[in-house]
Structure 1
Amino acid sequence: MTFLGRCLIALTLLSAASPAAFAADVKAGDLVISQPWSRATPGGAKTGAGFLTIENKGSAADRLVAVSGDIAGSIEVHEMAVTNGVMTMRPLEKGLTIEPGKTVALAPGGYHLMLMELKSPLKQGDKLPVTLEFEKAGKVAVTLEVQGVGAKGPGGEGGSMMKHDHSGSKM
């Protein structure tokens, strides 16, 4: 094999392994789904979360009504909110509406996919196939790319949530 051939293979392998290399946006009808990701879970955890962004470029609303995947016993669309200092999380029984011309972000601290009864821990670098089911756009396959435990966004944005003691006390 030529030197150029070996370089092309090496570049291909490196770009495929890059954690920042996200799959292209997925289009389904008038919807564009982008940046699907998840966080790694500690061993023994039975729940995890999935995040993504859904943009409706059409003139009619659509609704995310179900989610499925082999990674968990069940997957639900949840909403997290803080009211009077109390955090609540609840499933959206009627699904999540994406109004025309609007973008809905499923992100930490708000709407998210709740992965329940995980079949194995989620590890950084894993790719988790899930199927989103919309009222109008139908079934759409996406892949959640697992980031680090403390990630706050796709591509590992936010880094670790570990707090450091800078008070000057000796440990």
Structure 2
Amino acid sequence: MSFKSTLLAAFATTILAVPALAQEIQVLDTYARSASPTAKTGAAFMLIENIGDADDRLIGAVSPAAQRVELHTHIEESGVMKMVHVEEGFAITAGETLVLERGGAHVMLMGLTESFEQGKIIPITLVFEKSGEIVVDVPVDLARKPEEGHGKAHGTKH
């Protein structure tokens, strides 16, 4: 291989590697739950850290455990808390953490194809605007209390 070919190959490898290094997402403290073993819906909660230097956005999710998966949050309307689908997803600012928790932003699984039993692992693919797809194994934890884990923060927190 000539020096020119070697240099060109090294340059191409460097250019192709830069996008993969530009955005880094870590998913921590995952768990899922449903209201009962026969429930048709469930939800997943987690911390999503953007440790990169560019903003990103969680824009969707899919799972073989449900017919439909959506990003949801709760809003207050006339004094009543209401769960709503967030079509635009959730922004994750560089250096910040998106908190998905009960009573706030979460991944909603509808039309469950299997029951959520304690300790079962639910695969969920999170889809990000810049970082692409990240598959996470989410354990079902029916015993976890709302005050355990993520605290009381909603949305993006540092």
TM bin (shorter chain): 0.7 to 0.9
Q: Indicate which of 102, 110, 115 corresponds to 1:121.
A: 115
Which residue is equivalent to 2:152?
A: none
Residue 32 of structure 1 contacts residue 54 of structure 1 at CA under 8 Å; is this kept in 2?
Answer: yes
Q: Quick one: structure 1 residues 124 and 151, their matched pair in 2 at CA, closer, same or farther if it must change by over 3 Å?
A: farther
- RMSD (Å), alpha carbons: 2.2
Q: Quick one: structure 1 residues 141 and 67, their matched pair in 2 at CA, closer, same or farther if it must change by over 3 Å?
A: same
Q: Indicate which of 58, 67, 76 corresponds to 2:70.
A: 76
Which residue is equivalent to 1:137?
A: 131
Displacement over 3 Å in runs of 4+: none
In 2, Cα distance between equivalents of 1:124 and 1:100: 34
Question: Which stretch has the larger CA shift, 79-88 or 108-117?
Answer: 79-88
If the length of structure 1 is used for normalisation, what is the TM-score? 0.68
Deviation at 1:154, TM superposition (A): 6.9
Structure 2 alignment gaps of length 5 or more: 1-21, 150-158
Q: Quick one: structure 1 residues 135 and 97, their matched pair in 2 at CA, closer, same or farther if it must change by over 3 Å?
A: same
If the length of structure 2 is used for normalisation, what is the TM-score? 0.74
Deviation at 1:115, TM superposition (A): 0.4
In 1, Cα distance between equivalents of 2:44 and 2:62: 12
Structure 1 alignment gaps of length 5 or more: 1-27, 156-171
In 1, Cα distance between equivalents of 2:39 and 2:75: 22
**Does 2:99 correspond to 1:105?**
yes
User: How many percent identity over aligned positions?
Assistant: 38
Which residue is equivalent to 2:13?
A: none
Aligned length: 129
Which residue is equivalent to 2:12?
A: none
